[in-house]
Amino acid sequence: MKKFKFFVLQTVLLSVLYVLNFCLDKYLDSPFTRIDLISACIYLLLVALIWKPIGQLYKHFSDIRYPIKVLLSIPAFILPSLLLLFLLSL
C-alpha cells in the first residue's frame, strides 16, 4: 500500500509541475523580456512554496528502497505526460 501511495504522490506532483510549466510557458518568448523574468520568478516562488511540504511527505516513504522508487517513478513520469497529451488533444 505504501508503494501505491508513493506512486500516486509522484504522479500528482509531476502533474502539478506539468500544469505549472504549461500555464507559464505562454509568457516565455524568444526575446527575453521583463514579463519572462516575472513569469520565471513566479514559477520559482511556487516551486519553493511547495518544496517544504513535499519534503515532509517524502519522509513517510524512507523505508522504500531506492531501486523500487526509481521503478515506480518511471511510470509515474509517463502517466502525467500521457494525460497531458490527451487533454491537449481535446
* Neighbouring residues of 69: CB distance < 8 A, sequence distance ≥ 6: 6, 61
Q: Which amino acid is at 65?
A: R
pTM, two decimals, is 0.74
The domain limits of the chain are 15-81
Q: How many residues does the chain have?
A: 90
Q: Which three cell numbers stand for residue 16?
A: 502539478
Gap between the terminal Cα atoms of the chain: 33
Secondary structure (DSSP) of 14-79: HHHHHHHHHHHHTT--SS--HHHHHHHHHHHHHHHHHHHHHHHHHGGGTTS-HHHHHHHHHHHHHH
pLDDT by 10-residue block (mean), the chain, 90 residues: 92 84 72 81 85 84 92 92 85
Quick one: pLDDT at residue 71?
A: 94
